[in-house]
Structure 1
């Protein structure tokens, strides 16, 4: 049955952080866009988002990824103002810098080595500073004695991820976009006339362009349109404390204090692909590091903890590709949906709109995995 709903020349599959950003960018370029979303019952990667705008750990040995992340970070102030003006939703963006704390000499050495490699790749154009304990305490007075030092970069920051998610969807709807929940795509069939037929539980939909932004499901959908979306999913856990008086003026890679005072604790990684409950042993490790970093958290109550999945390619970089077999099909996969949102609404949508991948995005083609495998054989 052909679906009688709103006509669309472009369908975005997936309404998470990446899909919503791309859908907004396309509708602002004049496309008639429908988002088909599985809904909140999906293994949505946005649940795993720590709401960091993070550059300092991106691109060691991969300068294209660092440059891509840095471009996005630089665009965030204007992007936030635009979204807030379009929607009236305050994103609580703070971009004063961020720190990665080290609790041992070995961790400090690792941070220094990684940062030196990024700086070398960038011709020393990587603003950062290695801080000792007293320098770290000057920025974060609440740190404990176990903190040896930290890496600081002024490029980083954080915001309210739920507000961003809401703002993207509200801006998309107000700009004429059409959002359809509970609509997982079962199959995509390219036609001889250059369109795509999408099979959903509510009937068939046809479009001229289809954008795969379905997170983990991109691996299944991509081959249907001649694309490749290799994904190595990571399961992470996040804990949230009660609301506390302000003590964390800068976000760290594993802890940040939200605009309402609660503290998010995270940064665990494993590859277990099940919906199993939270692993309390992992929570215990995260809590121990959090308390060693900030002893004031010893008395804080954890009000919620959950596990979730991050979408990562084998090398950790994004995947953006046009289909050469079926022009009009595009795939976008990444695990930095917040940091990269301005790029997804901007340059990625330009690439979809024009059919031309700009040089800065060419390093993120999935063909890099085929070339790597061929060189090893």
Structure 2
């Protein structure tokens, strides 16, 4: 052995990937008393966790995901007491709007279906919505209102959890690229590009769009592809749009959304996604998509038609084939856990994912149903199709 080689750092749990999921899990693991090493290739929250739209919504989710989303919403409301920061969370509500009767019928059905899952929505006609939200456009037909949802600043949320985890005693190691993950009879052994070595009996992979290759190294491939959602922000105008406003259209190009921050700027996104490259860590920005977004945004809020767009961006996000995340224990390797592939819907879930994964890792169980998100679902589906 090289006399100058570093002694391996040890912990109860290693987390690979310092996005929202990894940082929140590290923080909550410390509340369970477990020692944690969090490894991040770049900076905490720099990838998809810091470049997304910032939606803190529950409505419109896959119904079995609502217990996780409800738990997360509770934590969002307690951020200052938990981590000392609020990440600019504004619980101004969330409205989904339609311009077609058939899309409105889907909203009404969802409002009925989600109530047993702990989410109460208020349905409105377009006129009722305009009386409550005067900025909403004249073409809006049906509106679903979730009054306790809202939005936050994605550039602040994951770093805030990373700082809180470090203050709580977690070892947070940034700008450290993982080059090798192995497992012996006791420990996972992580090697990094800078020569670091880390050992722990428990490992969580939370590396976003890069999680597929890491899971595949343990024989658990996931049908997931990197893509780039398209976002932008306008010049400021006086603050008057409290809720997040999103289109519930079944037409992809019309599926846009917007929110206004207290500084007055309107952040927007939606429509078609672009390609993304895992090697360069870049997502392609499509200027034509921004042009396609604008008339649909103006249909939601007519004032958008008069505003200048001052910046556009994208980020690398992992989209799983069935649009559901990979979350829970490995099907093949003891002590291995996953929390990645949140398909552009993970920002609201971040605190709840962290709390739930920490609970699962620390105690071996959780009351939050995770079976729909299990990594083995694709293999089971394949075996079911192949059965005689």
TM-score, normalization: structure 1?
0.88
Secondary structure of 1:73's counterpart equals helix
- Which residue of structure 2 lines up, in the alignment, with residue 370 of structure 1? 379
CA distance in 2 between partners of 1:110 and 1:157 (Å): 22
Deviations 1:17-70 (A, max 9, x none): 1111111111222222121111159982214421111111101xxx31233223
CA distance in 1 between partners of 2:45 and 2:112 (Å): 39
- Which residue of structure 2 lines up, in the alignment, with residue 259 of structure 1? 262
Q: What is the CA distance between 1:121 and its match in structure 2?
A: 6.4
- Which residue of structure 1 lines up, in the alignment, with residue 253 of structure 2? none
Q: What is the CA distance between 1:243 and its match in structure 2?
A: 2.1
CA distance in 2 between partners of 1:358 and 1:124 (Å): 14
**What aligned pairs does 1:163-178 form with structure 2 within 5 A after superposition?**
163-178=156-171
- Which residue of structure 1 lines up, in the alignment, with residue 287 of structure 2? 280
Distance 1:69 1:289, change over 3 A: same
Distance 1:188 1:258, change over 3 A: same
CA distance in 1 between partners of 2:66 and 2:265 (Å): 30
Unaligned runs of 5+ in 1: none
- Which residue of structure 2 lines up, in the alignment, with residue 244 of structure 1? 237
Deviations 1:303-322 (A, max 9, x none): 11012232332222222232
CA distance in 2 between partners of 1:300 and 1:359 (Å): 43
**What aligned pairs does 1:1-377 form with structure 2 within 5 A after superposition?**
3-4=6-7, 7-40=10-43, 44-59=47-62, 63-78=63-78, 80-83=79-82, 86-87=83-84, 89-102=85-98, 104-105=99-100, 108-117=101-110, 119-120=112-113, 123=116, 126-192=119-185, 194-203=186-195, 204-253=197-246, 254-270=257-273, 272-274=275-277, 275=282, 277-333=284-340, 334-335=342-343, 336-356=345-365, 358=367, 360-377=369-386
CA distance in 2 between partners of 1:354 and 1:144 (Å): 50
Q: Which has the higher mean CA deviation after the structures are superposed, 286-295 or 144-153? A: 144-153
Distance 1:300 1:221, change over 3 A: same
Q: Residues 215 and 311 of structure 1 are in contact (CA less than 8 Å); yes or no, is this contact kept in structure 2?
A: yes
Q: What is the CA distance between 1:238 and its match in structure 2?
A: 0.4
CA distance in 2 between partners of 1:96 and 1:202 (Å): 45
Between Structure 1 and Structure 2, the one with more strand by share is: 2
CA distance in 2 between partners of 1:148 and 1:257 (Å): 22
CA distance in 1 between partners of 2:117 and 2:347 (Å): 26
CA distance in 1 between partners of 2:45 and 2:275 (Å): 16
CA distance in 1 between partners of 2:182 and 2:104 (Å): 47
Deviations 1:55-100 (A, max 9, x none): 11101xxx3123322332244313x2323xx43x333322242111
* TM-align CA RMSD: 2.6
Q: Residues 50 and 154 of structure 2 are in contact (CA less than 8 Å); yes or no, is this contact kept in structure 1?
A: no
Secondary structure of 1:34's counterpart equals strand
Secondary structure of 1:233's counterpart equals strand
Q: Residues 45 and 158 of structure 2 are in contact (CA less than 8 Å); yes or no, is this contact kept in structure 1?
A: no
